[in-house]
Structure 1
């Protein structure tokens, strides 16, 4: 019973962090609303894989090493910030188009890798994992409990991303996007740029 309560605490904390609006969810919504369900699901699968990787890092104690290594953490922030700025540029270019031209064709596997890179270059994911796991697990917790908690959170991450992909690829959302494409892409560009430059600034002022 104690383990179940711990898992529920961890799951609740992680779910709140995962579903909250952020660069990953914003990017996934943008992909799904523009390129459809399959693209969104592949992008979400990439995000889930990257999230699970950071979960493994946090669960094995390597998260402390990552956060404590100045050079590695700075590099991750710079890469993550640069990627978000690139997404901002892509959204900005889409907003600047007068007509709804199709963005450069991307294979489904390409969407997976884009999602994977986005979450792998996000060092904040380690902090989120460590915070969630620490809420329900003590220092004397065995490896099986840590693995179970990590698996639960990884599944929640996948469910969240799949939910975003399925929701924003609904016909109503896609039709609304076509009507207000330039405004939506412009707002997305601003949000991506803000997140990207904030991450880069954090890296350079550390």
Structure 2
């Protein structure tokens, strides 16, 4: 179906895109600092799952609606932004502990995964990215377009999961250092909440 050279080119381009820090990377770092390595890895897997959903939408042509309908784009953008801002407000308003042993409640791996899926799926910019990017590597003469989309999406999601997992593992020492500073821990909720609200505002003001 695919020749080796185009696949290697695709992988190289995807890795290059990952090296440009974006909201997904910030989300993984934030969750790792908040809930530890498992939560960070779960967040990365959630983002990868959201990417798979976007791949399916692109393959079925559903994402084209976002390209042609300003209303649909704005609705999904607003829902996604509100979701992230909601998570940020919850963290921001969480009561700081009175001692260094009390801190912002960490999220479970399951919560981190589901919230990451929701954040990624509700980001219309991601939908438009897949709609514009994947077709560059799909060639009808090479077989089923749907199958090609699926393979490309699986490769992208697998690389994304590996990349975000490595970030989560690498950021762990910083998380331990962060947790050992009691003064900073009093501001933990404010910092994490601000990061989430910042992500939400970024989506809210992005253009098609």
What TM-score results when the alignment is normalised by the length of structure 1? Answer: 0.79
How far residue 15 of structure 1 moved from its aligned partner, in angstroms, is: 2.8
Unpaired runs of 5+ residues, structure 1, are none
Q: Is the 8 A contact 1:47 1:161 kept in 2?
A: no
Q: Are residue 61 (structure 1) and residue 61 (structure 2) matched?
A: yes
In 1, Cα distance between the equivalents of 2:95 and 2:128?
33
In 2, Cα distance between the equivalents of 1:106 and 1:86?
15
In 2, Cα distance between the equivalents of 1:131 and 1:108?
32
Residue of structure 1 in register with 2:162 after alignment: 159
Question: Cα gap change, 1:89/1:22 in structure 2, threshold over 3 Å: closer, same or farther?
Answer: farther
SS at match of 1:47: helix
Aligned residues: 202
How far residue 181 of structure 1 moved from its aligned partner, in angstroms, is: 4.5
The C-alpha deviation readout for 1:41-96, integer Å capped at 9, x for no partner, is 22222222111111111233322123323332212100111122224324534697
Question: Cα gap change, 1:181/1:4 in structure 2, threshold over 3 Å: closer, same or farther?
Answer: farther
How far residue 119 of structure 1 moved from its aligned partner, in angstroms, is: 0.7
Unpaired runs of 5+ residues, structure 2, are none
Q: After the TM superposition, which of the residue ranges 11-20 and 48-57 deviates more from structure 2? A: 11-20
Residue of structure 2 in register with 1:146 after alignment: 149
Pairing of 1:10-25 with structure 2 (within 5 A): 10-25=10-25
Pairing of 1:1-206 with structure 2 (within 5 A): 3-93=3-93, 101-104=102-105, 106-138=107-139, 140-143=141-144, 144-168=147-171, 170=172, 172-178=173-179, 179=181, 180-181=184-185, 189-202=193-206
